[in-house]
Amino acid sequence: MTRTYDSRKRILVTGGAGFLGSHLCDRLLAQGHEVLCVDNLFTGNKRNIYHLHSNPLFEFMRHDVTFPLYIEVDEIYNLACPASPVHYQHDPVQTTKTSVLGAINMLGLAKRLKCKVLQASTSEVYGDPLVHPQTETYWGNVNPLGPRSCYDEGKRCAETLFFDYHRQIGLEIKVARIFNTYGPRMHEADGRVVSNFVVQALGGDPITIFGDGQQTRSFCYVDDLVDGLIRLMETDQTVTGPINLGNPVEFTIRELAEAVLKLTDSKAQLVFSDLPADDPRQRRPDITLAQQELNWNPKIELNDGLPETISYFRKLLAEL
């Protein structure tokens, strides 16, 4: 799509060198916008955006969102925060600061610029849910003192800040609650179940399943998720969210492991380990609101998205 100078937006993507952020940068550039990618590269990686540096509409800035940012943009996508337990538990204090101070700084920037700002929240705000599937009206079952709290409560506080800015000064906000997302550019050592299983299978290592493998997750391919984020940002000011974005098709962890083994043609064995503290037993989004407000439905099934993800990791591991 070719945009004129008048229709082109300058868009900030924090966390833009990460898994989700880099795909979002791709899509926004393909739409003809200018993109300012901001990342401190704690979990993001330059290889995710290397292919974009020759694009004159793309700019990268190394910056930590816990510090203010003095720039001029038309829209803000705030994706900055470690999103896997391995990474967000590495420095839990910094994780909370990234969610809370990052939200404060991006909201302050949006207030000054009078522009839309989207918060990438998470299904983790529901904790270990007592309601299934999870709707946006559910307040959650979160342990505020556990090892996952830095992320869960940090994201919950960020949502609070977004809605208080909206109520207090009328700031135009969008809040997306993102459920398990997978695809190319996932970090090979992020500890998330899809990347874990694929890397282990390709390496011929045993597939490690925590618990009995009967806990469930719903897996959304990254292209579908990015489409949902952009559709949410493009809604009018009456739509604030929170809106669940995820694939409502539910799989047990054991089913995922068996699918990965089949697609990689691996003979690796399944091994079972203790379930981590506060690990949710069930996770599936109710996406009725996204269907109604965004006309959004995920299109890519797990059997179609997994081969793309496996192909990415096969190439990556060969290069490492």
The lowest-confidence range among 6-15, 58-67, 169-178 is 6-15
- The pLDDT of 10-20, averaged and rounded, is 98
For residue 83, pLDDT over 80 is answered with no
- The pLDDT of 14-36, averaged and rounded, is 98
Q: What angle do CA 152, 74, 153 make, to 5 degrees?
A: 10
**Active-site entry in 151, 165, 182, 221:** 151
DSSP class of residue 127 equals B
What's residue 4's pLDDT? 55
More confident residue, 65 or 212: 65
For residue 45, pLDDT over 90 is answered with yes
For residue 309, pLDDT over 70 is answered with yes
Of 269, 267, 258, the closest CA to residue 303 belongs to 258
Domain definitions of the chain by residue range: 10-319
User: Could you tell me the fold of the domain covering 10-319?
Assistant: Rossmann fold (3.40.50)
151 a catalytic residue: yes
What pTM, to 2 d.p., does this model score?
A: 0.94
Report CA dihedral (243, 247, 253, 256) to the nearest 10 degrees. -150
What's residue 88's pLDDT? 74
* SS3 assignment, position 74: coil
Of 139, 134, 140, 142, the closest CA to residue 285 belongs to 134
The band of 84, judged by pLDDT with boundaries at 50, 70 and 90, is low
For residue 320, pLDDT over 70 is answered with yes
Alpha helices (runs of H) in the chain, residue ranges in sequence order: 19-30, 85-88, 92-113, 149-169, 193-203, 222-233, 253-264, 288-294, 302-319
- The pLDDT of 157-172, averaged and rounded, is 98
Mean pLDDT of the chain: 93
